[in-house]
Amino acid sequence: MTSDEVPELAHLAEGASWVEVAPGVAALTGLAHLPSEEAAAIEVVAALVDAALADGHRRVEAEIDADDTPTRRVLQRCALRPEGTGRARRLDEHGIPADTRVFARLADDPPPGTRPAFLAMLDATLPLKRLIVQGLVRDGQGRLLLCELTYKKDWDLVGGVADPAESPVESLAREVREEWGIELPVGDLVAVNWLPPYRQWRDALLLVFDLGTHPDLAERVVLQRSELAAVHWVTLAEAADRVAPYVQRLLHTLREHEVSGSTETIFCQDGVLRGVLP
């Protein structure tokens, strides 16, 4: 079945399709023809996957170039989980062996957009102990900048999960660039905080860096709308009802450390000060 056979998709991705490659197994093909705009590409892939599953297939899979990040994002947004890397699986245009990655969704997998699907994708794509990097931005008047996120109700500091083979400083600079559309120098390491399992997350190590004092920053950011709804300057008291309990504990510990005048990096467990790093 091609996108032409799904009338509402014909104008979006002529050439994208699925074919049966084994009994009960359908493979997506023609993904190079997906729209360049991510939302439209997701619409196409989601409809093709739904059509293949409705046709009675138990599995829908896709194989893409290992470095094809845009298509990878689209497949994962449609709840196709990564299953592994095919080393030297194909030859590139120069005849050089190149890797591919396989993604798949089963008929009984949780549907996209649900909490079980989100948890399953986290475990399929991220290390079980995650390294999280975040940054502190202040306005010089006792307030800090928090992000209002689109995918959870709690506000949080800017940042995210570090990618494999990426330094924490590079990770935070990338997250700021992606989420806020600006370049900010990453300053000193302020705190190392071990986080116990919480909701969908397994335990993680959080590194908090100083991103400086920028009172005009809220007016300069260009938000990544798929993840951020807004940014807000808040005091600690104002943040209390907006952040998760573990974030509130950490922010209070960071403020107490700042007021003490110490410039040492602190070590915390679940936001509670345990000591300073040598």
pLDDT at 5: 57
**pLDDT 10s digits, 190-222:** 999 999 988 777 899 999 999 999 999 999 999
Burial code (b: 16+ CB inside 10 Å, e: under 16) for 36-75 equals eeeebbbbbbbbbbebbbeeebebbbbbbbbeeeebbebb
**pLDDT 10s digits, 242-251:** 999 999 999 9
Residue 255 in contact with residue 236, Cβ under 8 Å? yes
Burial code (b: 16+ CB inside 10 Å, e: under 16) for 175-203 equals bbeebbeeebebeebbbbbbbeeeeebee
Alpha-carbon span 108 to 31, nearest angstrom = 24
% pLDDT > 70, the chain: 95
pLDDT at 10: 47
Q: Which residues pair with 98 in a beta bridge?
A: 90
Helix 38-54 and helix 69-77, axial crossing angle in degrees, nearest 10? 50
| pTM of this structure | 0.64
pLDDT at 1: 55
Give me the residue label for tokens 């807000």: 232
DSSP code per residue over 217-255: HHHH----TTTEEEEEEE-HHHHTTTB-HHHHHHHHHHH
**Cα 66 → chain centroid:** 18
> Closest Cα to residue 133, out of 91, 184, 95, 97?
184
pLDDT band at residue 151 using 50, 70 and 90 as cut-offs: confident
